Amino acid sequence: MKIAGIVAEYNPFHNGHAYHIEKMRCAKSSCRATHIVAVMSGNFVQRGGPAMMPKNYRVRAALYGGADLVLELPMPWAMASAEAFAFGAVSILDALGCVDILSFGSECGEIGLLDKAVSTLESQKFSRLLHLFLDMGISFPQARQRAVTEISGNKIASLFETANNTLGIEYIKALRRLNSPITPFTVRRFGAGHDEDLPIGDMASASTIRKLVNGGRLENAAPYMPPDARNILNKAMLAGQCPADNRRIERAILAVLRTMTIEQLSHLPGISEGLENRLYDAIRESGSLDELTERVKTRRYTLTRIRRIIFSGFLGLDAGFEKQQPPYIRVLGVNERGTEILRAAKKSARLPLVSRVSRFETLGEYAKQIFSLECRASDLYGLALPTPLPCSTEYTNKIVKVNNYDGCKSL
């Protein structure tokens, strides 16, 4: 048994994700995984905002798409910076104690280059240069780019210009931080890049597919998704569970933010250097989320970071959790091979394995606090759907089980 891990949002699952999984199982690759475990974001995602459909639908799509076991990346890490997002997910895979490989897509497709970028980030010279450039008032991504260019040159610095290279670097950095025995493996991405609007062949970015679905054009999105994933998305739409839309909860978000004090805002993840004062004033002057983000944004703070701050306030998420490791391993979905992974993990896992909600009652306060945040997030997420969900879906939704799955086609 050779177990490979993936970190994903599957928002939604598309042909690029299926290609990645096929490459992991390919007999000609150095990965050659027999079992695949995915750590997946829940109902809120890294860019700041709700996933397009509830996690139980996305879990099912992942299992039919080739994953064997789907674990949850808890909300404090799922809706965090790339560094914290990667660290939380890799911590869960490492804590399973039986994962051999961490597989991820990248634009460069070369572990050696990504590894060199990590060494650059870990150097003392990088830390000094980064703070120097940040003090000049430029954004973190720009400051990082300039610092890496000075140390390692344009080739390594150019890796940070694309989203998947950047995440891959953070995955390797997390493995080093944890002193993990897991080996990194990357699949070169091809076709449409991250957030690109134009599809290439039968490959389209998740953001393009979301735009098509949000515009009521599922038939136009269909060629870019495996048939099972497309059918699951269609069922979610027919059930009124897709697509989630910020506009349905916009007034609720603004209402929550208007009740918050400057002190409360100062404790949100991503707040620094007095940004809470600017945010406080903007909240009181804004009648929409677009207006709010426009009032808060500066050269220093990206729109994604601002969105995460706004949703953190709405969801009651304070800073600090993302700097720690997740306190449990929660199972969201499994097939027959996934059961074999769990059987191995029961002997090797260094964190509690949670397959029933009642299990949280036996865990410590930190774990209960994280699960409480997850429950609050899911209750509020339900209001963003075409047909609102009642509260307590974290208790009523069961583990997704797919039986007699015959595996991915070999390449």
pLDDT block averages, 10 residues each, the chain of length 411 = 97 96 87 96 96 98 98 98 97 98 96 96 94 88 94 95 95 98 92 64 93 94 97 97 97 98 97 94 97 90 93 97 96 98 98 97 97 98 98 97 56 26
What separation in angstroms does the CA of 293 have from each of 87, 306, 309, 344, 350? 27, 7, 10, 46, 40
CB 243 within 8 A of CB 58: no
Query: What is the residue-wise DSSP string for 310-377?
Result: HHHHHHT--TTGGGS--S-EEEEEE-HHHHHHHHHHHHH-SS-EESSGGGGGGS-HHHHHHHHHHHHH
Distance CA 399, CA 221 (A): 28
The closest alpha carbon to 50, from 71, 78, 69, 13, belongs to 78
Question: Helix (H, G, I), strand (E, B), or coil: what is residue 101?
Answer: strand
What separation in angstroms does the CA of 239 have from each of 42, 60, 218, 381? 19, 15, 15, 16
Q: What is the pLDDT of residue 405?
A: 46
Tokens of 69: 């076991």
Distance CA 315, CA 309 (A): 10
Q: Which residue has the tokens 């109902």?
A: 43
* Residue 140 CB burial class (10 angstroms; 0-12, 13-18, ≥19): middle
Q: What is the pLDDT of residue 300?
A: 81
Q: What is the pLDDT of residue 27?
A: 73
pTM of the model: 0.94
One-letter amino acid for residue 301 of the chain: Y
What domains, with CATH codes, occur in the chain? 3-107+167-245+324-401 (3.40.50.620), 120-161 (no CATH), 246-321 (no CATH)
